[in-house]
Structure 1
């Protein structure tokens, strides 16, 4: 277990970045568990999210909602790996500024302290990392202890998330003894019935 939400998020974003790097050239148009998005749009979604949160945490005006739609806005360019890494570094830098973790920030689902924003981005990194792994035949190697923290946070905050919490869906069944990652993605609407843990 690491010592701060920023370090935890950095570790999780690094795993997600590895999954982005593992996407093969012919896979970018393939389907994902987020049925509205292909692989490229899924990666666009979480890169856009990291950029959005960095902007908000710095106290800057967020872009218009249309700029947040991965079907409309492509921020990956010719180098998706670099785009993801740069967005992650920008987010971590914004979270590392003095006072940011304690201050309240207005994010799309409402006001949260910076530490809560870090956990929300951690949830996105892990769940969409799992989505990406499923779509591209990779193994999502997120540390169990960090995923357990994200799972605990998500369980506690789920009631605060709007009912239309796209791309997360209604909770799905998962074995009580399943690994934290399986339980987390099931909690957020992923079918894990065919997963062997």
Structure 2
């Protein structure tokens, strides 16, 4: 596997840990308007599967969504298997943001999505969430490459203001249109 494929796997593993700690609160509302935790997990699985299938890289049968942590792990293992196939990770194609590879898309778009949605699920289920300054900087660099498309319909809402002394995690969430102080209604 390439470094990008390993980056995706690391982000998928971190997402799995958040799901394990969600305590079955699948119907909890998230910072994503009108989406529950279940909706976010299903979104992650379905969008990644759709991308791979559009590249003629079937990840196999869809996982049973009755047990979301198990479904996620099954899905992530299937993606890792696809990326490990000879030549797949390095396969180039013309993506929305220009020429790229399958592994880079999985790490830098779908893996980026896992970090952001991991925050959504963590906060919805009462878990602490943060990224290191280094990870925040890497996620900002990825978002920089998308330009105005970052704020396209269905990607991110417009940035929200935060204090100058906000943490790297809070600055990242704010840039992505999420209120870092969001918490589920009591």
Common topology (TM > 0.5): yes
Moved more, 167-176 or 130-139: 167-176
How much is the aligned-residue C-alpha RMSD, in angstroms?
A: 3.0
The correspondence of residues 1-197 of structure 1 with structure 2, limited to 5 A, is 4-25=3-24, 27-57=25-55, 59-60=56-57, 77-105=65-93, 109=96, 112-114=99-101, 115-140=104-129, 142-161=131-150, 163-164=152-153, 166-193=154-181
Query: Cα distance, 1:147 vs. partner?
Result: 3.7
Question: 1:44 is paired with a residue of what secondary structure?
Answer: helix
Q: Distance in 2 between matches of 1:104 and 1:162?
A: 26
List runs of 5+ in structure 1 lacking aligned partners.
62-73
Query: Cα distance, 1:111 vs. partner?
Result: 5.4
Question: TM-score scaled by structure 1?
Answer: 0.74
List runs of 5+ in structure 2 lacking aligned partners.
none
Q: Does the C-alpha gap of structure 1 residues 98 and 78 become closer, same or farther in structure 2, counting only changes over 3 Å?
A: same
Moved more, 186-195 or 40-49: 186-195
Q: Distance in 1 between matches of 2:146 and 2:66?
A: 36
Q: Is the 8 A contact 1:6 1:95 kept in 2?
A: yes
Question: TM-score scaled by structure 2?
Answer: 0.78
Q: Distance in 2 between matches of 1:147 and 1:88?
A: 23
Q: Is the 8 A contact 1:44 1:75 kept in 2?
A: no
Q: Distance in 2 between matches of 1:125 and 1:75?
A: 18
Q: Distance in 2 between matches of 1:151 and 1:189?
A: 13
Query: Cα distance, 1:35 vs. partner?
Result: 1.4
Q: Is the 8 A contact 1:171 1:190 kept in 2?
A: yes
